Structure 1
Amino acid sequence: MSTSPNPESHEALRTLVTALQELHRAAGRPSHRRVSDSIKDGPYPATVSHEGVRSTLKGLRTPRWETVESIVSFLAGSCRPPRDPDTEVARFLPLWRAVKEGDTGVLMSAREFVLAQSWGDDGGSWTPEMLAGVMINPFNAVELDPALTLQHEPLISEDEWVKVNLRVIDEFGAEFFLYALLRILKGEYVGEERGSPYGYQSPGQEMDEDTAREAFDFTCEQILRRLRAEPNLLARSIKAFHCDDSLDEEEREEVLRAESDPSLMREVMTLSPESWPEVSEEAHWLVFTYLAKEGRTVGRPGLPPEQRFLITWRIPEPPED
C-alpha cells in the first residue's frame, strides 16, 4: 500500500518526481491510460492503474518500488532515441530508496558496488561513491611505493586521512570501504578514465623526450639481452604475434603492411645482437612489436630503469636456474 511522505523525505520525493517527469517528457508524454495499458500487456513486475501512473508522475504519494520500476521500464523503451530500461531502472532505484530511507538510501551497498564494477554515473555527474573514492584514495595522504605512483606531495596528513575515512566507514560500512580501497589499489580510481590520475601512471599519458629516450634505451638493452640468451626468441615471438586474438586491428594491419616490404623483412629476419646498431628504425620498431606486448612507465624519475619501466613480453622470460 502507498504511503504519504514524511517531512524528511519530501525533498527526496521531489527529486524522484522530477526525474520521472523528465523521463515521461523524453518518451513523448504518453497518456496515463496508455502507460497503464501498455504495462498491463507487457513483461513488467506490476500492473499500474492509470490513476497510479498519474499520482506517481505528479508525486501525490510515495509509490511502491514495483510501480516505479514498471513505469520507468516502459518509458525508457518509449524514448527517442530509446534508453536502456535496465540502466534507467538502476538509476531510479537509489532515488526511490532515498525517499524511503533518507540519505543512506542513495548509497550503494558493498555488494551493489562490487557488481557495478564502476564508481557510478557514466554521464559525468558525481555520485556519493565517487566522492567516497576520492577520500579513500591513500595517494592523498602518503607517498606510495614508486612502482605505483608518481612523485608527489601528500594533500592531507595521515591523521586527517584516517579521520575522513572513519566517516566513510560510518556512512558506507567497512565492507564497502575495503572493496573500494582494493579497487583503488588495482588502479581503478576515480578520474582514471578521464586521464586525471590520483597518483597512478595514466596508461595514455605521453612521455617527455628524456623519459622516452631512457625507455627506448632500456628496452633495447633488454631485447639484446634476451636475443643473446634465446636464439629462437624472434621466430617464436613472430608466431605468437600472429596468433594473438587480442591484438588491436589497427596495430595488426600496420604490421602486415610492414611485412609486405621484402627488404624490411630481410633486415628483421637476419638481425643479430651484433647488427642491431646498423638496422633501420623501421626494423627496430617491428622487432619491438614482435617481442613486447606492452611497455609502461611505472616508477618515478630518478629510479633505476628496471624499476621505472615495465616490459610485458609476448614470450615470457624463462625462469632462472
Structure 2
Amino acid sequence: MARWQMPDLPEGPLRTFKHELHALHGKAGYPSARNLYLAVGKVVSHTKIHHAFIKPLLPSWGVVEVVVEQLAVQVRPRLDADTEIVRFKELWDEAHDSHTPMASIPAPRTGEQVDGPASGYIPQSFRARPVVAANNGLIYQVLVDLHKAGMSTSVPHVAAELERRGQLELCGGEEYLYECLRAAMKGAYEAGLSIPEFASLNARKVRDTAVARRERLASLLSPHSEADQGLREHERVPELHPHRMHPQQT
C-alpha cells in the first residue's frame, strides 16, 4: 500500500496529531482510503478519509474516530480500539484548542445561519453562532428515516446521510451533532433517565411549550382576557422550557 505524504505543518499540537495519525496508518500497513472507506461501513467518504491525512487542517472528530478504530484493529498485534480512540481524542482536543481564534469574523446577528468551512473543522468562532432552529428538523427527519430503514443512528451515520442530502453544513456540521449528543447524555444522566426516555420527555416539553405559547397569545388577544390569566399563561412558558424563552424575556 502507498504511504501518504504528511502535510507541512509548524511545530505544535496539530503537527503532533497528524504525525501520530500517520504513524498509526503505517502500523496498520498503509491501507488505502478506499479500503478504509469499506472497512468503516461507508459512513465516511474515501475522500474525507484521505484528506484527514494529507490536508494541513484538523479533520472533524467523526472522521478521526471511525478511522482510528479501524486502523487499531488492523494493526498486528491488534491494538485496543477504545484506548486508541481516547488517545487520539486527547490529541484532537489539544489541536482544536490551539487553533488561533478568528477574531476578524464579526459577531453573529440574531437568526444568522452557520456555514462552517468545507474541511469539516468548525472553529469555535463559527460554532458559537446560532444554528437556525428549524434546521434541527432536518436532523430529526434523518434520524427517523435511518431508524425506519433499520440502520444505525450514530453520529457518523447521521452525518453521512445529511452530507448525502446536502444538508450537513446547513445543520451546523458534525461538531454540532456531537454537541447535541453530549447535551442529551448530560441531560439524561442528570435526570436519571436513559437517552431515549430523556429525548421523549424533552420532546413532550417542547410540544407543551408550543401549546403554552399559543394559549398565551390567545389570552393576550382575547377581549375578555383577565390580567391574572394572562400572567399565568406568561409564566407557563419558562417553567416548561426555560432555554426556549425569547431572548427579550430572559
Q: TM-score range by the shorter chain?
A: 0.3 to 0.5
Higher helix proportion: 2
TM value normalised by structure 1 = 0.27
TM-score of the two chains, using structure 2 as the length reference: 0.34
